[in-house]
Chain A
Amino acid sequence: MSNAGSIRGGQTRAGWLFVLPTLVVLGLFLAVPVVMALWVSFTDWNGRGSPFASGVGFVGTDNYRELFGEQGGLTRADFMTSLRNNFYYVLLVVPLQTVFALFLALVLNQQMLKAVGFFRTAFYFPSVVSSVAISLVFLFLFSGGGVVNSMLETIGVDGPTWFNDSRGLLHVVGDGLGLWNAADPPSALAGGGLLGLTWWQWLSGPSVALSVIIMLVVWTTTGTFMLMFIAALQDLPVEVEEAARIDGAGRWGVFRNVTLPHLRPTMLLVTTLGLIGTWQVFDQVYVMTQGGPSKTTLTPAFLSYFYAFENQKWGVAAAMAFILFLIIFASATLQRWLFRDKDAIELKRQERRTKKARARAVAGGAA
C-alpha cells in the first residue's frame, strides 16, 4: 500500500505541475478580480490607487444598504428600476429565444428539407455578426421615420417613436383594455410601493424602447441555441422515433414523449445560458440607449458601469455586481431544480429502498 502510495505521489506532483499554468492564469484573471471586487464592495474606494491601500475606508455593508435601505434614495430607485427592467427582459427573452430556437431546429432536422446548409447558415448568421453592428442597424430600422414605421404606415398603423417611447407595455395594454388610465394611474397602485418604486412603476412591463432590444436579442441569439438543439436532435436515433411510430404514437405524441425528454439536458443548457446572458445584458444598452428613455432600458450591468466609470462610485457599483451575481446564481439553481429528472430520482430512491429491505431481510434471516 505504501509502495503504491509513493508511486501515485509522484504522479500527483507531475499532475499539479501540468495544471499549474492554468491555475495561475485562472487565479490571476478570475479569482483575484472577483476577490478584489468583493472587497471594493465593502469600502469607500474612490478609484485612486490600490483598493487595498491603507487610506481606503472599510464601510461594512453601507454600499449594500444603499441599494436596499431607506437611506439609498436615488441610488436605490435607480437600482430597483434596473432590476425591474431586466426582470421583464429576462421574462420575455428566455422563453421566446428557446421556443424559436427549438422550432427552427425541428424544421431544419427534417429529412425532407432541401438546402439545409443554406438555412442553417442564414439562421445562424445574426449570432456571428457583432452585436454593436446589429444594434446600429436596429437604431436605423426603428427610428421614428425608419423602415419599420414606413412599413407599418402602409397597413395604416401609426408606429411609435420606438427608442424615444418610455411607456410600459402593461400600462399601454391596460389602458387599451380600459382597466386604467395610463395618464392618471389608479391611486391604489400609485400611492403605495416597495423599495423606492411605486406598485404602478413595478407593474409597468417593458417599455416600448426595451421591447425593441428584446426583439433584437431574440433575433441574434436564436441561431446559437438552434445549433445546440440541432446537435441534440441529431443524437436521437431515428430507430427510436420509428419504434414509437410503430407503437402507434402520432407526430405530437412522438414529439412530446420521445423528442422532448431526449432534449431535456440541452433544454437545461439553453435556458441556463439564456438566463445568465440576459441578466448580464450590457452592449445593446450601451450602444443604443444608454439607459434612456426615462431609465426604462437601464439594466444592473449598465448601471454598475455608469456608477463606477462615470461617477467614481466604485463601492456601490461593485455591490450591484454582487447582487446581480446572487440573482443569477439563485435563478440558475432554481432552474436546475425545476429541470431535475424526476424519474431518475424516483428510480434511485426505489433502489435504495429495495437494498435496505434486502439487508433487513438478510439480517432477520441470520437472527
Chain B
Amino acid sequence: MSTTSSRTPRYRRASLAALAVSTSLALAACGGGFEDDGSSEPASSGDGPVELQVLIASSGDAETQAVEDAAAAWAEESGNEVEVVVANDIAQQLSQGFAGGNPPDVFYVDAGVFGDYAEAGNLYPYLDQMEDADDFYPNLVETFTLDDQAYCAPKDFSTLALQINTAAWKKAGLTDADIPTTWDELQTVADKLTTPQQAGLVLGLGRDRVGAFLVQNGGFWVDSETGEATATEPSNVEALEYVQGLLDSGSAVLAPDVDAGWGGEAFGTQKAAMTIEGNWIRGAMSNDYPDVDYTVAELPEGPAGKGTLLFTQCWGISADSEDQEAAVSLVESMTSPEQQLANAEAFGVMPSRESAQADYVEQFPEDAPFIAGGEYGQGPVNLPGLGPVLADLDSQLEQIARADATEILESFQKNAEAELQ
C-alpha cells in the first residue's frame, strides 16, 4: 500500500517531464524547419534544369488535361520539369504550403482571396517582368492589384450576360428588336415572358449577381483604388430597389424560390425564361439541358451605362519559390494567346489577353456578348480581410425580396469600415 502511494507522484512527474521534453524537441524541430525556408534567397533558375510544382483547382478532366499538356510542352521546350497537381481543396492546401514554407511554385489564385494572400506576402509580384503584360484587359489586371502593385497574370475570365429562352421569347410575341437594352425594357420583357408556369427572369443569389445592377448604376460595394467601402452611396440603394421592384412584380424570382440551386438550373428546367449567368452556363446547358434553345445578349444598360461583373483567377507565383524566373516563363507560355485559345476550345474559358479577342469571337461568335463585358466589367471585391463581411452580405442578400435595401447596405458599410480601418 505504502509503495504504490509513494510511487504515484514520482511516476506522474516523470511522465510529465518526458512529455515536456518530447514536446519542446518537436517544437524546436518545427521552428527550425519553418525559419529556414523563410530566410532563404530565391535562387536564380539560370543554371541547370529546375522542377516546378503547379497546383490547380480544376473544373474537370478537360481543364486538367489542357493544363498538363501545356505544362509538358513548356517543360519539353525549356528543358525543365513540371508536376501538375489537382487540388481537392485549394485554399486548405495552399494554407499548408504557406505555413510550412514549401508552397507550390505556381498556383491558381481566385480574385476573392487575392487580397489576403498578397497582404500576407505569399505572392511574388511578377507582372512587370512579363512580355506583353499590357495586353491583358486592364480591368483584370486591376483585380490583381493591391496598393498600386500588380501581382499576377490573369489566367482567363468570365462575365455575366443575359440568357433568353428562344421558345418562350417567340411565344410571347417578342422579336430581336425587343432584346432589352435598358432597365425599363428588362422589366417590360420580363412581364411579358411571365406565365403561371414560368417566371420571366430568374436571378442567382448573392452579391455576384445583384452586384451587376450596382455597376450599371455607377456604384459598387467598395472602391478598390481608394480601399474604401462605398455601399451606402444613393446609387447603390437605387440599384437594389430596382431589383426588389423586379422581384415584387412577380416577373422575376430568385433561384431557390423555384427550387433551383442556381440560375442556370432554373433556366435549363424552363422554370424561367431568362437568367443572368456567366459563360459557364454553356457547359451546363449542353450537358444537362441540350434541348433548350437559347440566345445570349449583353446585360441591359443601367442609368449609368453598361455594366457587368468579371470573374477571374490568376497564375500566382509563390514568394517562397526558389525558381521564380522559370515560373514566370511557365506562366508566360500558359497565358500566350495561342494557349488561351486552346483552353477556350478545351474547357470554355475566355482569353484574358485583348489580342486574342478577335480570334476568340471568330471561333465562338455566339459568345460575343460575354467577351464584350471584358471592356466594361467590374472585378470582384479584392480588398484584404473582407471575407466574413462579404459572406455576411451574401447571407443578407438571400432575403433581398423582403429586406430593407438601405439596411443591408448600411450593415455592410459598417462591417467593411471596421475591417478596412
> Counting CB contacts under 8 A, is A47 at the interface?
yes
State whether B91 touches A32 (Cβ < 8 A): no
Tell me, rounded to whole Å, the shortest Cβ–Cβ distance linking A33 to chain B. Answer: 10
Given contacts A74-B388, A74-B389, A292-B395, A52 and B34 within 8 Å (CB-CB): yes
> Counting CB contacts under 8 A, is B387 at the interface?
yes
> Counting CB contacts under 8 A, is B366 at the interface?
no
State whether A306 touches B391 (Cβ < 8 A): yes
State whether B35 touches A312 (Cβ < 8 A): no
Q: List the B residue with the shortest CB-CB distance to A166.
A: B398
> Counting CB contacts under 8 A, is B121 at the interface?
yes
> Counting CB contacts under 8 A, is A295 at the interface?
yes
> Counting CB contacts under 8 A, is A16 at the interface?
yes
Chain B positions 107-163 with a Cβ under 8 Å from a chain A Cβ = 113, 116-117, 119-122
State whether B26 touches A27 (Cβ < 8 A): yes
> Counting CB contacts under 8 A, is A293 at the interface?
yes
State whether A32 touches B30 (Cβ < 8 A): yes
Tell me, rounded to whole Å, the shortest Cβ–Cβ distance linking B123 to chain A. Answer: 10
State whether B26 touches A28 (Cβ < 8 A): yes
State whether A49 touches B35 (Cβ < 8 A): yes
> Counting CB contacts under 8 A, is B37 at the interface?
yes
> Counting CB contacts under 8 A, is A257 at the interface?
no
- Complex interface: chain B residues within 8 A of A295 (CB): 392, 395
Given contacts A48-B99, A48-B121, A74-B415, A144 and B259 within 8 Å (CB-CB): yes
> Counting CB contacts under 8 A, is B418 at the interface?
yes
Q: List the B residue with the shortest CB-CB distance to A298.
A: B395
- Complex interface: chain B residues within 8 A of A143 (CB): 259
| Distance of A20 Cα from B121 Cα, bound (Å) | 40
State whether A311 touches B26 (Cβ < 8 A): no
Chain B positions 252-283 with a Cβ under 8 Å from a chain A Cβ = 256, 259
State whether B91 touches A309 (Cβ < 8 A): yes
| A299-322 near B? 1/0 per residue, CB < 8 Å | 000000011111111000000000
State whether B256 touches A311 (Cβ < 8 A): no
- Complex interface: chain B residues within 8 A of A294 (CB): 395-396, 398-399
> Counting CB contacts under 8 A, is A23 at the interface?
yes
Tell me, rounded to whole Å, the shortest Cβ–Cβ distance linking A75 to chain B. Answer: 7
| Distance of A166 Cα from B256 Cα, bound (Å) | 12
Contact with A16, one of B18, B89, B389 (Cβ below 8 angstroms): B18
A-B pairs with CB below 8 Å: how many? 122
- Complex interface: chain A residues within 8 A of B218 (CB): none
Tell me, rounded to whole Å, the shortest Cβ–Cβ distance linking B37 to chain A. Answer: 7
> Counting CB contacts under 8 A, is A78 at the interface?
yes
Task: Kindly state the interface size class of chain B when it binds its partner.
Answer: 35 or more
| B84-106 near A? 1/0 per residue, CB < 8 Å | 00000101100100110100000
> Counting CB contacts under 8 A, is A73 at the interface?
yes
| B376-404 near A? 1/0 per residue, CB < 8 Å | 00000000010111011001101100000
Contact with B23, one of A27, A48, A313 (Cβ below 8 angstroms): A27
> Counting CB contacts under 8 A, is A181 at the interface?
no
> Counting CB contacts under 8 A, is A164 at the interface?
yes
| Distance of A313 Cα from B120 Cα, bound (Å) | 11
- Complex interface: chain A residues within 8 A of B101 (CB): 49-50
> Counting CB contacts under 8 A, is B19 at the interface?
yes
| Distance of A114 Cα from B59 Cα, bound (Å) | 51
State whether B30 touches A311 (Cβ < 8 A): no
> Counting CB contacts under 8 A, is A46 at the interface?
yes
Tell me, rounded to whole Å, the shortest Cβ–Cβ distance linking A148 to chain B. Answer: 13
- Complex interface: chain B residues within 8 A of A12 (CB): 14
- Complex interface: chain A residues within 8 A of B395 (CB): 292-295
Chain A CB within 10 Å, residue with most, of B15, B33, B99: B99
Chain A positions 309-352 with a Cβ under 8 Å from a chain B Cβ = 309-313
| Distance of A16 Cα from B11 Cα, bound (Å) | 10
State whether A48 touches B388 (Cβ < 8 A): no
Interface residues of B (CB under 8 A from A): 14-15, 18-19, 22-23, 26-27, 30-31, 33-35, 37-38, 89, 91-92, 95, 98-99, 101, 113, 116-117, 119-122, 256, 259, 385, 387-389, 391-392, 395-396, 398-399, 414-415, 418-419
Interface residues of A (CB under 8 A from B): 12, 16, 20, 23-24, 26-28, 31-32, 35-36, 46-53, 73-75, 78, 143-145, 161, 164, 166, 291-295, 306-313
